[in-house]
Structure 1
Amino acid sequence: MPLFPAASIAPYANYPDRLATIATKTPVLLHEAFLPPLLLFLTLLLYPRKSPLRNALALPVIVGLYARLVRLYTSSHWGFAFCVGAYAYYGALQAFNLLVVKDVARDADVRWQIDDTGVASSSNGHAHSNGNGEVKKSNGSTNGTTNGNASRHMNGNGVANGGSHGISNGTAGGQTFRASGLGYPEISKYPLIQRIRFTGSLIFASRGVGWKFQIRHIPEPPSPGTSLLSFIRTHAAKILFTYTVLETFSYIAAIDPYFTTPACWTTPFHRTALPADEYHALCMPSSMPATPAAVPFLWHNIFRKYMGLFSVYAILTQLFSIAALLLTVLIPVTRPEGWSPLFGSLADATSLRGFWTKFWHGIFKKYFSYPGEWIAFQLLQLDRRSARAQMIVMLAAFVNSGALHGVGCYTLNGRWRAAAGFFLLQPLGFVGEIAVYKMLKMCGVDARGTVGKVVTTVYSMTWLLWSSEVFAYDFLYGGISVAEPVAWSFWRWWTGTGGQAWRWGRPGEWLRWDTHEGSLGGWGVRL
């Protein structure tokens, strides 16, 4: 705890679980967080072919370093503290998938569809004159090929963006590959810089855009003709909008006693012992009337829950837009057309399946599904179209999602069951939705029609709002209402009320150089 600035600990005085975690851990060191993915990168670069010996040597070290992050580190801000555990679980799962489940040197879907690096066209002809016939110049109709291709870029948020949209100028190097794509063994003949980009792109391509394993349902990216100014305006507007949403959440949390009173926190599995009148007096804003009963009911079950869901959406969207501007404008290593929207259209969220597969972000979808695919298709040799195989893949995805959020909450405040449990409940929601579809069919209602969509939308939103309390439970115990999602609060600065405008402490307090002897090497940047 001495390594945490006193100002960053003070807000958690009424959160014993959070204080206990801070007392037993230290602020995360960035170089220790970056070490395991670096080892994975070097392993895949030097030894791409899957082998028991390679995996026995590399995988325990990589997973062990991620486990060390979970055991030793947290952060003074609840968001960063959660990310320590979530990042560690995702990294360990990624290492398992790329080393054990996949064979980078042999699998047919580990193929790069687009060269966006420019290396192939600037390496003295080596890349497209090596006799492998894989690379073609995308220069109009002179090569007799159709120039429909995909645009692909990496961003700093661990997401590969882009999509197939039939354009001819969406690559930096002007290089497209045949349908078979580019991969091993031919990539081994390319310059080292190209192999580095290939391996780095593979690690960052969590959505698989620009690769043959690209996930479905990725929104269309900006067109190649999008001006930089238009791109800046779009993402600046998103940052301003999401900041407003998060500031509103911060204000609501400051005036609503529910967010700072543990006795008020309930789930379908954690009920309150307070009588109804005491619950209203303790857990509702002072201006909230007790009657009619529908008013406090709607405040809690609609407004609070939608505000929480919308805040999660706003946090992720804001981080995505900040990364887009950072890596396109300030550090111009990507281009506007590489930044496909993170979320889909609300029009797709008319069912529970549509919400999770089309609307919600797919950052982790592929790596969450790989273990299920490995079990269903490789170990059990099931037909890919069978209901049993699809059930295994879906269960694996939600189990991994639950584990990621559970480990994240563990590094936040030592809790994990509720955050993980929310995702373990979702398959039950899918079973219920199947029953809804069957009911509609029995009633002669087209599920794709207006009435059918209204019914499935009501069901999916009811399910998500009912189960969202489970998701929020562990986070509330982590003090999300006192260490807010905005680093600087405009309304507190403007009104001079509600505490300091700097909600995380000043930047030098939570992001600093440190020489504590307990780190690897005794130095580093702490977060």
Structure 2
Amino acid sequence: MPASDGELISIYEMQYEDAIKADKITPLILPYHFLNFFALILYILLSPYSAVRRIRFLVFGFILWFSVSMLLNCRTLNHSYGAIIGLYSIWCIYWSATLIVFNDPWRNFKRVTYGPQNSLTWQAMPVSLKDRVSWTLDLVSTLRGTNWSFRFRDPSKIPKPLSKLRDTGSPTLGTLFGRFTLSCVCIDVLKLGMMTDPYFWGYTSSTAPSHFPFFLRNPLILSLYRSVLTTMGIKAALHFQSDLGALICIHLFGPRILGPSGEAWMHPPIFGAFSAVLDDGLVGFWGKWWHQIFRLPFTSTGRWIVEHLGLDPKSEKASAVVMITAFFMSGILHASSTLTLWGETRPWLDVCFFILQPVGIGLQTLLQRAVGQRYREKQEARWALNITTSFLWYYLTMPLLAEGLAAGGIWLFEPIPVSLLRGLGFGTAFGMPKRWWCWRGQWFRWYDDGTWWRRGVAM
């Protein structure tokens, strides 16, 4: 085992260069590896024409083929880019299926825009090509759908007039910057803690390090500790990305450039209220508290399956199909993000974690029904049952996801360039150098393998 995470990264760098020279992998090349994204943009842009809609399956087939090829062959040493390759490849497939196969963007989607006297109104796909380009780029690049009609799960809850949306709570600059700073501090602390444990380097069979306190050497407690650190790392990273995006959209560009997307009320917190877990258990955890970035592709696929099975969309069977489909797709998505990492990846662990969640929801629902009237009428009983059983299921299943992420080396990535703790000397006892600046290596270089269509910037 290497003496430190830095030594392991140096080993990976040599392995990566050898694999590139042997033509075993392809680096991430821009703009070549955006061809699937460009194909989606072009289709949406021309979708009002019936002749284009008739070849939608051909377009989707190309995107599917290109994305799978990228997933299997494209790799990068930067661990953040490595995870993004997998997420991007599968997301292109999911999002293309949503926009090309399961929906008609020309008819099904609307975005918020400015109307008379700066009021808000819905805008379907514009007729003029110039406006349609902006509309299309916004649609294909959105994740949370902050200014789109599909942001609202229940259309009946959309206020009329639409401008009343501005009355919702808006994060101030101080709030956003405070949350962003807090996420940076959390990442710095978590990174330091993780790098003192070889488990987070990818050596997931390692026992507790000798410097751990005695209670963490208990295998049951150690497993919980690593699961909690993993969850906190994921959550901090999501807050970091979300709040950074909000700061850029609201306070760098603003409404003059981005329109309604630059208004503060368009950027609600990425996580919901934790009380949803107390009230609804695992359903509340996944459906209300945890982020909903990928909700639309999951539900669109589930509804399409329900329709083709001939089920009543309001029936329990239909709800179960949609839920199972969503968790299975989520498993494939997260497994792909670990598959494209450079370490010894175990993507099946991610799939197992997510397909077990409907099982936990089903068991918890049976228990809730068994408790009966007391569960429905007594808040204390409901909260106690939900938090206890949700925590138990988390404890049993989260080690699968934690190991899947750690095995690929995702935590070797340096998300923030400056570390206050390591700059002050914390971590030197564990082989970490005392330095403020943490980013290392070459992030970009020119790539040319002799084919003109694959020349570009390699990452």
Do the structures match in fold with TM over 0.5?
A: yes
Equivalents in 1 of 2:149, 2:177: separation in Å? 32
Asked if 1:196 corresponds to 2:133, the answer is: yes
Q: Match of 1:90? A: 91
1:265-284 aligned at under 5 Å gives the runs 282-284=207-209
Equivalents in 1 of 2:179, 2:451: separation in Å? 38
Q: Match of 1:176? A: 121
Give the match's secondary structure for 2:71. Answer: helix
Q: Match of 2:455? A: 523
Q: Match of 1:307? A: 229
Give the match's secondary structure for 1:115. Answer: strand
Asked if 1:411 corresponds to 2:356, the answer is: no
Equivalents in 2 of 1:368, 1:31: separation in Å? 28
Q: Match of 1:432? A: 363
Equivalents in 1 of 2:368, 2:15: separation in Å? 43
Asked if 1:451 corresponds to 2:381, the answer is: yes
| Alpha carbons of structure 1 residues 45 and 481: separation in structure 2 relative to 1, 3 Å | closer
Residues 349 and 401 of structure 2 are in contact (CA less than 8 Å); yes or no, is this contact kept in structure 1?
A: yes
Between 297-306 and 405-414, the greater mean CA deviation after superposition: 297-306
Equivalents in 2 of 1:211, 1:263: separation in Å? 42
Q: Match of 1:73? A: 74
Equivalents in 2 of 1:518, 1:445: separation in Å? 68
| Partner residue of 1:231 out of 172, 190, 210 | 172
State the Cα deviation string for residues 219-273 of structure 1 (Å, max 9, x = none).
x9x9858999x733222212221122112212212333443473636xxxxxxxx
Give the match's secondary structure for 1:176. Answer: strand
Equivalents in 1 of 2:236, 2:381: separation in Å? 30
| Alpha carbons of structure 1 residues 367 and 287: separation in structure 2 relative to 1, 3 Å | closer
Asked if 1:322 corresponds to 2:211, the answer is: no
Higher helix share: 2
Give the match's secondary structure for 2:341. Answer: helix
Q: What count of residue pairs does the alignment treat as equivalent?
A: 431
Identity of aligned residues (%): 23
Residues 206 and 367 of structure 1 are in contact (CA less than 8 Å); yes or no, is this contact kept in structure 2?
A: no
Give the match's secondary structure for 1:525. Answer: strand
Residue 17 (structure 1) shift: 10
Asked if 1:340 corresponds to 2:260, the answer is: no
| Alpha carbons of structure 1 residues 341 and 469: separation in structure 2 relative to 1, 3 Å | same
Give the match's secondary structure for 1:303. Answer: helix
Equivalents in 1 of 2:219, 2:205: separation in Å? 14
State the Cα deviation string for residues 358-406 of structure 1 (Å, max 9, x = none).
01111101111211100102x1232111011111111111111011111
Give the alignment's TM-score, normalised by structure 1.
Answer: 0.73
Give the match's secondary structure for 2:311. Answer: coil
Unaligned runs of 5+ in 1: 1-6, 122-136, 140-172, 266-281
Residues 487 and 504 of structure 1 are in contact (CA less than 8 Å); yes or no, is this contact kept in structure 2?
A: yes
| Alpha carbons of structure 1 residues 359 and 75: separation in structure 2 relative to 1, 3 Å | same
| Alpha carbons of structure 1 residues 342 and 35: separation in structure 2 relative to 1, 3 Å | same
Equivalents in 1 of 2:446, 2:456: separation in Å? 5
Residue 447 (structure 1) shift: 6.5
Equivalents in 1 of 2:271, 2:402: separation in Å? 21
Residues 204 and 406 of structure 2 are in contact (CA less than 8 Å); yes or no, is this contact kept in structure 1?
A: no
1:355 is matched by which residue type in structure 2? Answer: F
Residue 448 (structure 1) shift: 6.2
| Alpha carbons of structure 1 residues 18 and 480: separation in structure 2 relative to 1, 3 Å | farther
State the Cα deviation string for residues 203-233 of structure 1 (Å, max 9, x = none).
2344444444334399x9x9858999x7332
Residues 32 and 454 of structure 2 are in contact (CA less than 8 Å); yes or no, is this contact kept in structure 1?
A: no
1:432 is matched by which residue type in structure 2? Answer: L
Give the match's secondary structure for 1:349. Answer: helix
Residue 102 (structure 1) shift: 1.1
Equivalents in 1 of 2:11, 2:63: separation in Å? 36
| Alpha carbons of structure 1 residues 254 and 409: separation in structure 2 relative to 1, 3 Å | closer
1:253 is matched by which residue type in structure 2? Answer: M
Q: Match of 1:499? A: 432
2:194 is matched by which residue type in structure 1? Answer: A
| Alpha carbons of structure 1 residues 516 and 16: separation in structure 2 relative to 1, 3 Å | closer
Residue 199 (structure 1) shift: 2.3
1:206-285 aligned at under 5 Å gives the runs 206-216=143-153, 224=166, 231-260=172-201, 262=203, 264=205, 282-285=207-210
Q: Match of 2:311? A: 382
Residue 342 (structure 1) shift: 0.9
Q: Match of 2:282? A: 352
Residues 12 and 18 of structure 1 are in contact (CA less than 8 Å); yes or no, is this contact kept in structure 2?
A: no
State the Cα deviation string for residues 92-147 of structure 1 (Å, max 9, x = none).
111112111112334xxx2425214xxxx6xxxxxxxxxxxxxxx3x5xxxxxxxx
| Alpha carbons of structure 1 residues 391 and 385: separation in structure 2 relative to 1, 3 Å | same
| Alpha carbons of structure 1 residues 17 and 476: separation in structure 2 relative to 1, 3 Å | farther
| Alpha carbons of structure 1 residues 418 and 298: separation in structure 2 relative to 1, 3 Å | closer
Give the match's secondary structure for 1:340. Answer: coil
Residues 399 and 424 of structure 1 are in contact (CA less than 8 Å); yes or no, is this contact kept in structure 2?
A: yes
State the Cα deviation string for residues 34-57 of structure 1 (Å, max 9, x = none).
332222111111124677731243
Equivalents in 2 of 1:426, 1:38: separation in Å? 35
Residue 16 (structure 1) shift: 12
Q: Match of 2:42? A: 42
State the Cα deviation string for residues 149-181 of structure 1 (Å, max 9, x = none).
xxxxxxxxxxxxxxxxxxxxxxxx53424xxxx
Equivalents in 1 of 2:12, 2:221: separation in Å? 25
2:121 is matched by which residue type in structure 1? Answer: T
2:432 is matched by which residue type in structure 1? Answer: G
| Alpha carbons of structure 1 residues 447 and 296: separation in structure 2 relative to 1, 3 Å | farther
Between 402-411 and 297-306, the greater mean CA deviation after superposition: 297-306
1:238 is matched by which residue type in structure 2? Answer: R
Give the alignment's TM-score, normalised by structure 2.
Answer: 0.82
Q: Match of 2:354? A: 423
Equivalents in 1 of 2:419, 2:392: separation in Å? 33
Residue 86 (structure 1) shift: 1.1
| Partner residue of 2:405 out of 455, 475, 478 | 475
Residue 298 (structure 1) shift: 6.5
